[in-house]
Amino acid sequence: MEYRKLGKTGLELSLLGLGGFHLLEIELDTVKEIVKRYLEAGGNYFETARSYGDGVSERKLSKVLPKEGIVVASKTESREKQSSEKDLLSSLKALGRDHIDILFLHAVTKNDYWEAISSSNGALKTVEWAKKEGLIRYVGITSHGYGGTLLKALKEYPFDLFMTQMNYYDRFNFPEIETKVIPYAVSNNIGIVAMKSLADGYLWRSVGNAFRYTKTIPVSCIVSGINSLDQLEEDLELIEKEPFSPEELEQLFFEAPELGNYVCRQCMKCLPCPQGINIPGLFLAEGRYDRQMLDGKVRSAADYALRDRLAHWFGSEDQGIEEYNSMSPGVDACTDCGICNERCPYVIDIPRKLGIVKSKITEGYVW
């Protein structure tokens, strides 16, 4: 198992981290087997949250984790001082520990949440108190989807680490994670923990590529939600794979079936539009709105159900609507001239997709 430094904390995390959410789904005996095998393989990072089954994930881990030699992280989704303090004390009790290594402020996806957290009665007060009392060693922040609030929070408070989605599908929906948040974290020595390498399961047919892609990013740890020994063995094998070279990445972006001829790669080659439409900007707004999941094509029921479930999983719709409404000229200026289609290397039917974006964002449906 490879170990990587976690920012300036002094901790070294195993590259494969064990996520605690999926421990809810399985019996305690299976949790024991998974944890035993993960430790044998050199794993040392366990991550859970108060909100995972209202402490059930923490309680299961308390029965199986060793007292020493590991890194334990939990999370509070409370924004206020009093409720986050209560969460932390409940987490410590459920985990059976007098302190944890990392407390994450969880799912800080909107500016409103960050304002509440950083207010005079916000959860940051709990963080400061808990550090002084020795209840936590380090503080992190997690976020899903749009990265604007995450970047703002990292700039306004000296977090030790952050965790967010990093996968080859959502990089085209939330590119600011890789173009802004990660460079900021690297230059300020903030620890980087990746989650959702499989885009919440959407990349389930391409797990090898998904792991290799996330390894290409300068992360300290890749957290995987593991609910069986077979899955752990597969992850242990995949975590050893080489990251992609730049040429291989280009090829992946061309060939990945999940991107196909619908997801915009933000290459800008369709510009300039004769009508002045910011085509990639509108498709980015669509990415924020529903992760470009619903494309109006009928496939299997299982595929549709997965896309429909994941489309609004991150809750960045408001950002998509705001960006869509800020575009002028908008979709209605399209004359269907087709020049953009000739330029798009990914064979996206751009006028059709523009129509879909408009219907989704203004009507709520693919029209």
Q: Where are the alpha helices (H) located in 207-349, listed in sequence order?
A: 207-215, 229-238, 246-255, 279-290, 301-311, 317-325, 339-343
* CA proximity to 52, closest of 71, 27, 74, 32: 74
Are 259 and 333 in contact by the 8 Å Cβ rule? The answer is: no
By the rule CB under 6 A, 275 interacts with ligand SF4: no
Instruction: Count residues binding ligand SF4 (CB under 6 A).
Output: 15
The tokens for 301 are 């029921």
- By the rule CB under 6 A, 270 interacts with ligand SF4: yes
If binding is defined by CB under 6 A, does position 348 make contact with ligand SF4? yes
Q: Which of 269, 297, 299, 309 binds ligand SF4 (CB under 6 A)?
A: 269
Task: Say how many residues make up the chain.
Answer: 367
Binding-site member from 256, 259, 344, 356 for ligand SF4 (CB under 6 A): 344
Interface with ligand SF4 (CB under 6 A), residue from 56, 267, 321, 333: 267
Please enumerate in sequence order all residues whose Cβ is within 8 A of that of 129, keeping only pairs 6 or more positions apart, or say none: 85
Q: Report if residue 287 touches ligand SF4, rule: CB under 6 A.
A: no
Using rule CB under 6 A, residue 279 touches ligand SF4? yes
**Single-letter amino acid, residue 196:** K
DSSP secondary structure code for residue 175 in this structure: T
Q: Which is nearer to ligand SF4, 208 or 345 (CB)?
A: 345
Backbone torsions φ then ψ of 33, nearest 5 degrees: -65, -40
Of the two residues 210 and 350, which places its CB atom closer to ligand SF4 in the complex? 350
The span from the CA of 322 to the CA of 289, in Å, is 10
Q: Judged by CB under 6 A, which of 30, 62, 119, 266 binds ligand SF4?
A: 266
- Contact positions with ligand SF4 (CB under 6 A) in 11-50: none
Tokens of 76: 């509070």
| Least distance to ligand SF4, CB of residue 297, Å | 17
Query: Which range of residues in 22-30, 219-227, 295-303, 338-346 is near ligand SF4 by CB under 6 A?
Result: 338-346
Q: Is 268 among the residues that bind ligand SF4 (CB under 6 A)?
A: yes
Compute the least distance from the CB of residue 344 to ligand SF4, in Å: 3
Dihedral sign from CA coordinates of 356, 359, 362, 363: negative
How many of the other CB atoms lie within 10 Å of CB of 252?
17
Q: What's the CA gap between 22 and 25, in Å, rounded?
A: 6
Q: How far is the CB of 282 from ligand SF4 (least distance, A)?
A: 9
Residues 73-132 that bind ligand SF4 (CB under 6 A): none
Instruction: Decide if residue 346 touches ligand SF4 (CB under 6 A).
Output: yes
343 binds ligand SF4 (CB under 6 A): yes
**What are phi and psi for residue 335, nearest 5 degrees?**
-105, 5
| Strand ranges inside the chain, DSSP E | 3-5, 12-14, 16-19, 45-47, 71-76, 100-105, 136-142, 161-165, 191-195, 221-225
Measured from the CB atom, the residue of 268 and 305 that comes closer to ligand SF4 is: 268
Are 183 and 155 in contact by the 8 Å Cβ rule? The answer is no
Q: Interface with ligand SF4 by CB under 6 A: which range of 27-35, 286-294, 305-313, 341-349?
A: 341-349
State yes or no: residue 215 binds ligand SF4 (CB under 6 A).
no
Stretch that binds ligand SF4, among 111-119, 199-207, 342-350, 356-364 (CB under 6 A): 342-350
Of residues 215 and 353, the one with the C-beta less far from ligand SF4: 353
Is residue 259 at the binding interface for ligand SF4, with CB under 6 A as the rule? Answer: no
Among 265, 307, 358, 360, which residue interacts with ligand SF4 (rule: CB under 6 A)? 265
Contact residues toward ligand SF4 (CB under 6 A) are: 264-270, 279-280, 283, 343-344, 346, 348, 350
